[in-house]
Amino acid sequence: MISMKKTVLTLLTAAALGMTALAPSVLTAATPVMAAVQMTHTQGTVRVTAAAGAQVYLDTSFTQPIKGKILAKNSTWRFSESFGEGNPDNPINAGFGLGGKQYVKWADVQTLTSGWPTKGTFIVNVQNHPAWATVLYDRNLKPIRSLPAQSRWTVFGLYQVYGQGGRYVDQYYDLGGQQYVKFVSYSTHDLSSGQFNGTFK
């Protein structure tokens, strides 16, 4: 039997995202895993964690602050790009673009979700249980139906859901039509702890 956690998560579409406030997200409970700063994210959500709020800048070097433009602590925002080097413990000139030449520093926010378009095929193959089906979800993570073992599905995007400190917990594939399948969940800090529901080609 497939075990499903009851949670609500807004998974983003592949459309370009502007600077829009969101309601707080509820994340799947699991021990978080460290995620590296990546240049390839094209969309996602962040929550402001800096006590004084997040200053918004006109440039990616963070030398041109926008006067009076400070995002409140605990507010949640969509981003359309990320940039920088290093890792979450030591980011270098890292940040997020909120659209319209508006940028915030990586250190002032926490990543909640991120995603980017990708194409390929997802094959249902539950780890250690190759005869099991897996679950197809809608965008709110409500189960729609089962996907049979060893069935193949076209993938249009990859989405990551993060825990504390920007460490990712779950990864999903977008199968189109606002339908998602969980690719992997991590239960410890070790990436080898991943429990996979299939393979991607």
Return the structure tokens found at 103.
């940028």
Return the structure tokens found at 111.
């990543």
Q: Which helix (H) or strand (E) covers residue 109, if one does? A: strand 109-124
Under the banding of pLDDT at 50, 70 and 90, the label for residue 33 is very low
Residue 195 pLDDT: 80
Question: In a 3-state reduction of DSSP, which class is residue 108?
Answer: helix
Buried b (16+ CB within 10 A) or exposed e, 117-141: eeeeebbbbbeeeeebbbbbbebeb
Residue 84 pLDDT: 81
CATH of 115-200, one of 2.30.30, 3.40.50, 1.10.10, 1.10.3470: 2.30.30
CATH 2.30.30 fits 36-112, yes or no: yes
Residue 5 φ then ψ, to 5°: -85, 140
Mean pLDDT of 155-170: 74
pTM: 0.60
Q: Where in the chain is the domain with CATH 2.30.30?
A: 36-112, 115-200
Give residue-wise pLDDT tens across range 75-129. Answer: 999 998 888 876 656 667 889 999 889 999 988 998 887 788 889 999 999 998 9
In terms of pLDDT, which residue wins out, 190 or 55?
55
Mean pLDDT of 188-192: 61
Under the banding of pLDDT at 50, 70 and 90, the label for residue 192 is low
d(CA 101, CA 83): 13
